[in-house]
Amino acid sequence: MTDRYCVFGNPIGHSKSPAIHAAFAAATGQDLTYEARLAPVDQADGFAEAVAAFIAEGGRGANVTVPFKEDAFRLASGPGNRLTPRARLAGAVNTLVFGSDGILGDNTDGVGLVRDLTDFLGVSLAGKRILLLGAGGAARGALGPLLDAAPAHLTIANRTVARAEELAALVVASHPAAAVDACSFAALAGRQYDVVINATSASLQGEPVPLPAGLYAPGAAAYDMMYGSETPFLAQARRLGASVLADGLGMLVEQAAEAFALWRGVRPDTAAVRRLLRPA
């Protein structure tokens, strides 16, 4: 019997996930279907009910995108369900596994980011100075895997400093040996970083993050978690002297591959899917 998977979101029609997972299934010989499903945002338990309906239809697993990652976290935190350590640290879930022992919630975003940076862009993170812009869900999902890569130092910068400080304190509790600090965007003046990652929504709003000149060290990389044509953040990074510029399309593919491996026990080769998506 063909196994069923899906991605929940609202809106969801733009999602590339069905095409990505269809390509993974074809390449690995896995018998499955993958669809995009719209979950309601105007009902208190709309997401949980949508998940329950999909499980009743035979669903084996699901991806979760905006705006339901925190809803998925709460669902997987409930009685009889469980979270992976990286999902617990992130406070958000983007991958669900449905089994006889309940629902498992995971977060594959950070792993996808690190794999894209290191394996495909050739950006080393070990011993480097990393700047993470933003303190929302996207930043939280990235922090654990970034710190696991053993950077020399990681700074979290955010418009609201208190949120950055709260996130830094949370990370220190889980990675006590890590060198982590938090600051405002203005406080970045005079600092230099080897890797700068944009986890804010600024690119969606068509504006760059207010960053000072001199922020990028020689040979530094700028990475925007948003994907598409050159984003305002990447255009700004080019002007400020970043040497490596990348959007988040590779992260999208790599986090999907991590989810696919969690569901099917086989890791797909992502190079062909990257080539398929990049022209678009």
Active site residues per annotation: 69
Six-digit token string for 156: 């979290």
Check whether 266 is labelled as a binding-site residue.
no
Check whether 255 is labelled as a binding-site residue.
yes
Beta bridge partners of 69: none
Chain centroid offset of residue 237 CA:
21
Check whether 219 is labelled as a binding-site residue.
no
DSSP-derived secondary structure letter, 121: S
Residue type, 68: F
Q: Give the whole-angstrom CA distance, residue 273 versus residue 268.
A: 10
Six-digit token string for 116: 């894209």
State the number of CA atoms in the 13 A half-sphere of 59 facing the CB. 25
Check whether 162 is labelled as a binding-site residue.
yes
Helix pair angle (137-148, 161-174), 10° resolution: 40
Check whether 135 is labelled as a binding-site residue.
yes
Check whether 31 is labelled as a binding-site residue.
no
Check whether 94 is labelled as a binding-site residue.
yes
Check whether 163 is labelled as a binding-site residue.
yes
Nearest C-alpha neighbor of 114 from the set 7, 241, 251: 251
Check whether 138 is labelled as a binding-site residue.
yes
Residues that constitute the known binding site for NADP(+): 134-138, 158-163, 225, 248
Residues that constitute the known binding site: 15-17, 65, 94, 109, 134-138, 158-163, 225, 227, 248, 255
Residues that constitute the known binding site for shikimate: 15-17, 65, 94, 109, 227, 255
